[in-house]
Amino acid sequence: MDRSARQARLERRRGAERRGQMKWVLYIGLAAVVVAGLLIFASRVRTAPEREYTQANGLSLGDPNAPVQMTEFADFQCPHCYNVYLGAEDELIQTYVETGKVYFTYRPVGFLGPESDGSAAAAFCAAEQNAFWPYHDILFANFSHSNGGGYAAGRLESMAETVGLDVPAFKQCLADGIGEAGVLSAEDEARGLGINGTPAFVINGTIVGGSRTFAQLAEVIDAALAASGN
């Protein structure tokens, strides 16, 4: 093989190598774009359906003098608590709270790890601005579990901004430990009642544990109403 033929063969091989390298650069670039898009989507804060909460007062809803006092202990990372939020909560509020029969108080706890603690503390700080219920909604609209980053500090702040909180005051509340103190108090209260899991409901002193449908909760509420003469 003469020199010119060898040179041409060498140049063809080098050209093929360059084209192969360019393909890999293109594939890596496309993969990076896809990964970046997925990360952006994953970090996006989803808004919650708008709900109108009447007689909201911090962590509570309804008439404080209602014949039935109901407390729910819940963890924002708990799938069963999420199911109660999706299933029973709206009907419970419409049927019993808004009609003056039940005074409903929510007690966020952190039984499932650091992001349970963080989301619960954030909810207590939202309550400091009387925005607990919209914040509770956006937490569940962005439901996350297994401490996977869904309730990381930056996302909790983004949720606070989305629902219209004073974000500097919200961050200061967390920094001052006000939210954490609320969580610890709720956990102490729960454990004092023998509650170690979520969701758990206390209805005029009767403890109802585990995920419940509206019908199951209504049965206990109706019994409490009857016992109170209502």
Residues 28 and 117 in one domain: no
CA distance 13 to 42: 43
For residue 179, is it within any domain? yes
Give which of 149, 75, 148, 142 is closest to 112, Cα–Cα. Answer: 75
Residues 121 and 175 in one domain: yes
Domain of residue 5, residue span: 1-44
Residues 18 and 92 in one domain: no
Residues 113 and 14 in one domain: no
For residue 211, is it within any domain? yes
CA distance 29 to 105: 51
Domain count across the chain:
2
Residues 190 and 122 in one domain: yes
Residues 7 and 73 in one domain: no
For residue 51, is it within any domain? no
Residues 22 and 86 in one domain: no
Q: 105 pairs with which residues across the strands? A: 60, 71
Decide: 112 and 73 in contact? Cβ < 8 Å: no
Share of the chain residues as helix, strand and coil, in percent rounded to the nearest 5 = 55, 10, 30
Residues 87 and 32 in one domain: no
For residue 194, is it within any domain? yes
Residues 34 and 121 in one domain: no
Residues 69 and 91 in one domain: yes
For residue 123, is it within any domain? yes
H or E element at residue 62: none
Residues 24 and 110 in one domain: no
The domain that holds 171 is classified in CATH as 3.40.30.10
Mind listing the pLDDT tens digit of every residue in the chain (230 residues)?
A: 566 766 767 677 777 677 766 655 544 544 332 233 323 334 589 999 888 888 999 999 999 999 999 999 999 999 999 999 999 999 999 999 999 999 999 999 999 999 999 999 999 999 999 999 999 999 999 999 999 999 999 999 999 999 999 999 999 999 999 999 999 999 999 999 999 999 999 999 999 999 999 999 999 999 999 999 98
